[in-house]
Structure 1
Amino acid sequence: MAGTGRRRRWSTDDILDAAVELLRTGDAESFSVRKLAATLGTDSSSLYRHFRSKTELLRAVADRQLEAAMDGYRPEGDWKQRITALAGRARDVFGRQPQLAAVWGRYGAGGAGSRLIAEELLQALRLSGLPDAEIPVRYHRIVVLLTALITSEAGMGGLTSEEYEQGMEHFRVAVLGADPERFPALAHFARDIRPLGVDRPAAFEDILADHLASIDAVIGVVGESVGEAAERSTNPAS
C-alpha cells in the first residue's frame, strides 16, 4: 500500500510531550536529541527542523513545564504569599529535573510559561507598594534568587545514593578533620555545621522569606520618605 513505508511527521507539541516524558522517566543528565529521536522512531535531523539545538529544545521543554505548573493557579493572599506560592510551583516542577533547572537558570525559557510567571511576579510586586521604578530591579533579583536556589536543590536531588554518601564522607573529612590551629573557627563550629544537602528545603524557604522581608523593609523606608515629603509640603515652615 502506498505510503506505508513513510515515517510519521511529528509536530512540535508531539516532540515536547515526548521529551517531557523521557526526562521524567529517564536520567536527565544523559538526555540527548539522539535518544529522543530514537524514542519517537525517527532520526535527529527531523527534530532539528523544529529546534536548532539541544539547548533550544530544553528551553522549550522547561517552558512547557512552567506552563503546566501555572495551570489552575489562582493568586491568593498578600504579595509575599503570592510570590512564595509561585516559587513553590517552579520548585516542584524542576525539583526532580536538574538539567531543566540548570537550563532555566542559565538561559531562562522565554515562552508562554515564562511570561505567566513573570506577569504574576510583577503583579505581586505592584501590590507590595513598591514604586514602579523599583519593581524591575526587584523582579530581576527574585528571579536570579529562585533560579539559583532551584538549580542548586535540583542538583542535589539528582545525586545517586552512592554519590550522596561519598559527599557526606568528604564533608566529614573536610569539616570534622579540620586542623584547629589552621582553621580555628571551622574547628570550633564543626559539630554544629550541617552538610548542605541536609537542610536545603528549609534553607530555600528561609532565604526566600529573608529576601521578601528585605523588600518589605525598602517599602517601609519609601513610605516614610513619602510621608515626610507630604508633611513638608503642607508645613513648609517646619
Structure 2
Amino acid sequence: MAGRRRWSTDEILDAAAELLRTSDADSFSVRKLAAVLGTDSSSLYRHFRSKTELLRAVADRILLAAMDDHRVEGDWKQRLTALALRMRDAFGQQPELAAVWGRYASSGTGSRLVMEEVLQALRESGLPDGEIPVRYHRIAVLIAALISSEAGAGAVTPEEREQGMELFRVAVLGADPERFPALAHFAREVRPLGADRRTAFEEILAAQIADIEAAIRRSRSTAGAEGT
C-alpha cells in the first residue's frame, strides 16, 4: 500500500492560507487543515510545533511577499509611507489574514525585513538612537491596527455593509438631542467607520510622521541649547 503523500512546508502554508480565507483564526485548527490535505495532524506537527507557530508563518508569508520587490526610494517619510501602503495592499488582497497577523505577530524573515526598513528609515530621519525603539513600536502598532481594521471592513459582504449603513443612519440621524446633543448636532456630517478608510489611513499615518518630525526638532533644539 502506498504511503500518504508528504506535504512540503510551502504546500502546507498555501493550504492554510486558503483555509483562512474562508474562516478565521478562532475556528481554524491543525485538524481541519490536515483534513483538507488528506493527512493527519501529526504529520503537520513535524513542520510546525503548534497552531500559533503555523499561523505566524502564514502571516509572515504575506509580509515576505510584500517586501519581495521592495525598493528603497525617497526620504525617511516617503519610505515609511510607502512601506505602510505596501503592507496594506498586500493584506487587502487577503483581508482574513490581516487579523491573523494582528493577533499572531510574525517573527520570520518577512517580519524582520519590515522591521529593518522601519528602523533604517527612523535612523535616516535624524532621531537620536535612544528614541528610535519607542517610535518604531508606535509605528508598528499603528500600522497593524489600521491594516487589521481596514481589512476587517473589506471582508464584509455587500449585504452586511448595507445593513450596517442602515443601522448607522437610524442610530445617528434618530439620536435624541436631549440625551445625545453633540451627536444630534453633527449627525449629518458624522461618517460611519467604513467610509473612506484609505484617506483616513494615510492621514493618521501622516500625523504620526509629523509627530516624529516634531520630536526631531525638539531634540535638535535641545542639543543646540546645550552646545551654547
Aligning the two structures, in what range does the TM-score lie when normalised by the shorter sequence?
over 0.9
How far did 1:172 drift? 1.0
Match of 2:92 in 1: 95
Matches within 5 A, 1:22-171: 22-23=19-20, 26-29=21-24, 31-171=28-168
For the 8 Å contact 1:28–1:97, the answer to whether it is kept is no
2:214 matched to 1:213? no
Match of 2:169 in 1: 172
- Aligned counterparts of 1:202 and 1:50: Cα–Cα separation in 2: 41
- Aligned counterparts of 2:76 and 2:47: Cα–Cα separation in 1: 39
Match of 2:11 in 1: 14
Going from structure 1 to structure 2, the CA distance change for 1:106 and 1:31 (only over 3 Å counts) comes to closer
How far did 1:98 drift? 3.8
How far did 1:32 drift? 4.1
The one-letter code of the counterpart of 1:155 is G
Alignment deviations for residues 156-207 of structure 1 (CA, whole Å, 9 cap, x no partner): 0111122112211221121111001111110000000111101111100100
For the 8 Å contact 2:17–2:97, the answer to whether it is kept is no
Match of 1:236 in 2: none
- Aligned counterparts of 2:159 and 2:92: Cα–Cα separation in 1: 20
Alignment deviations for residues 109-146 of structure 1 (CA, whole Å, 9 cap, x no partner): 00000000000100000000000000000000000000
- Aligned counterparts of 1:47 and 1:93: Cα–Cα separation in 2: 26
The one-letter code of the counterpart of 2:56 is R
For the 8 Å contact 1:28–1:98, the answer to whether it is kept is no
- Aligned counterparts of 2:85 and 2:189: Cα–Cα separation in 1: 28
The one-letter code of the counterpart of 1:66 is L
Aligned residues: 226
Give the structure-1-normalised TM-score: 0.89
Give the 3-state SS of the residue equivalent to 1:52 in structure 2. coil
Identical aligned residues as a percent: 72
Going from structure 1 to structure 2, the CA distance change for 1:83 and 1:28 (only over 3 Å counts) comes to farther
- Aligned counterparts of 2:218 and 2:137: Cα–Cα separation in 1: 20
The structure whose Rg is larger is 1
The one-letter code of the counterpart of 2:5 is R
Give the 3-state SS of the residue equivalent to 1:192 in structure 2. coil
Give the 3-state SS of the residue equivalent to 2:2 in structure 1. coil
For the 8 Å contact 2:55–2:104, the answer to whether it is kept is no
The one-letter code of the counterpart of 2:90 is V
Going from structure 1 to structure 2, the CA distance change for 1:106 and 1:189 (only over 3 Å counts) comes to same
For the 8 Å contact 2:80–2:121, the answer to whether it is kept is yes
Runs of 4+ in 1 over 4 A off after TM superposition: none
Runs of 5+ unmatched residues, structure 2: none
**Partner residue of 1:200 out of 194, 197, 210:** 197
For the 8 Å contact 1:176–1:187, the answer to whether it is kept is yes
- Aligned counterparts of 1:28 and 1:83: Cα–Cα separation in 2: 31
Give the 3-state SS of the residue equivalent to 1:133 in structure 2. helix
How far did 1:16 drift? 1.3
How far did 1:21 drift? 4.1
User: How much is the aligned-residue C-alpha RMSD, in angstroms?
Assistant: 1.7
The one of the two structures with greater contact order (alpha-carbon pairs below 8 A, sep at least 6) is 2
- Aligned counterparts of 2:53 and 2:218: Cα–Cα separation in 1: 43
